[in-house]
Chains A and B, each alone.
Chain A
Amino acid sequence: MYICIASEAVMRQFTMNIDDALLLAAKRHALVAGCTMSDLVRDLLAREVGWSTMKAEPPVDAKAAAPILQAYSCGRLSRRQAMGRLGLSPDRYPEFVEAMNRTSVAWPTHDPEQIEREAALVAAAIEENDDAD
């Protein structure tokens, strides 16, 4: 027995092999759950692979975002804080970058001395690791 999942036009058809008994049980389950077999299989697959349908989010409003981006630029807000105030979750970093560049707000600068200290720590850790190998 095989199942053909051919649903909405935007979705691709997919064929799979399945035991008769499992198919029957799955159909019964879908009936009780009030969904189609396609919905059921799609949901199970999505959950297993960690996939979700991403809704198109509206672009960041430049005028409203400007003070927040300025605060980030000056170091008064961290990137996470700024993104939080703009309603952007951490994985929407590309949208944050786009907003920064679109509004021409300067990216935060770094304290050269601090960066040198940090770089020295990283370089020392790498060197010690090489020596240990």
Chain B
Amino acid sequence: MMRTKVLLPDSGPLFSFVSVSGGLDLLLAPGLPLVLTDYIEWEATRSGSATALEIKSWIAAHPNKVRVVETELGQARIASEVAKTSKKVERRNVGEVTVFEALANGDVGDGPFLFLFEEDKFVDPGFYGRHPVHSVTTFGFLVGLERSGIIPSADVILGAMRSNGREGVKAVILDRPHRASREDADTTWRP
């Protein structure tokens, strides 16, 4: 049976997870390999802000679990952004396209693949033909962790992501007792 790889075609989830203390580790909590492209890493770390440095350190601290794939487009885009020759509007969907390039070139290996987006994004399951490709949102991912008994509550983590640290929640990874279903259909948290 092939091991599913979690792919990040967008830096958005990184910023959501890093906003919760210990949140980035939740991305690795399922035990699935996490793959991002050079451009996604660049997008998440280029500002040099404290948040960007935290993400950079976290990626560097997990070389066996987080894989950064070099892409032709990513390298070209990074070079042009460093040289300040690219227009901001041209950045749209660059991360996504670099993931497609890496997949098409076989640089990510075999699937199945789980695309993690911040919000709804349709990925054609037959896009590559060879392996199933699915997309999940940050909240869907969290609920999946909750259902698998990895975290006690997806709502609490989402609430922390939306409270800018005011909730002061530290991401908790449980010892995975079985929890067959989710009691609440939707998040109960409101600002």
Question: Footprint of B on A, CB under 8 Å?
Answer: 46, 49-52, 54, 75, 78-80, 89-91, 93-94, 97-98, 100-101, 104, 106-110, 112, 114-123, 125-133
Contact between B191 and A122, CB atoms less than 8 A apart = no
Contact between B186 and A107, CB atoms less than 8 A apart = no
Q: Which residues of A contact B32 (CB under 8 A)?
A: 125-126, 129
Q: Which among B49, B118, B164 is the interface contact of A79 at CB below 8 angstroms?
A: B118
Q: Which residues of B contact A133 (CB under 8 A)?
A: 31
B100 contacts chain A at the CB level, 8 A cutoff: no
Q: How many residues of B contact A (CB 8 A)?
A: 55
Ranked nearest first, the 8 interchain pairs of A and B with the lowest CB-CB distance are A122-B144, A118-B140, A52-B48, A119-B143, A125-B4, A112-B185, A118-B136, A97-B164
The CA of A86 and the CA of B19, in the complex, are separated in Å by 20
Contact between B191 and A89, CB atoms less than 8 A apart = no
Given A126-B32, A129-B3, residue A93 in contact with residue B16 (CB < 8 A): yes
The CA of A93 and the CA of B45, in the complex, are separated in Å by 13
Given A110-B139, A115-B137, A119-B182, residue A94 in contact with residue B4 (CB < 8 A): no
Q: Which residues of A contact B120 (CB under 8 A)?
A: 75, 114
Question: Footprint of A on B, CB under 8 Å?
Answer: 1, 3-4, 10-12, 15-16, 19, 30-32, 43-49, 51-53, 56, 112, 114, 118-120, 134-137, 139-141, 143-148, 150, 161-166, 182, 185-187, 189-191
Given A54-B48, A79-B119, A94-B19, residue A104 in contact with residue B31 (CB < 8 A): no
Q: Can you list 6 A-B contacts with CB-CB less than 8 angstroms, sorted by A residue number?
A: A50-B56, A91-B52, A101-B164, A118-B139, A118-B140, A126-B148
Contact between B12 and A80, CB atoms less than 8 A apart = yes
- Nearest-neighbor residue (CB-CB) of A107 within chain B: B162
The CA of A86 and the CA of B156, in the complex, are separated in Å by 27
Contact between A97 and B19, CB atoms less than 8 A apart = yes
Q: B51 CB to closest chain A CB, in angstroms?
A: 5
Contact between A118 and B143, CB atoms less than 8 A apart = yes
Q: Which residues of B contact A109 (CB under 8 A)?
A: 186-187
Given A54-B48, A90-B15, A132-B1, residue A126 in contact with residue B144 (CB < 8 A): yes
Q: Which residues of B contact A121 (CB under 8 A)?
A: 114, 134, 136, 140, 144
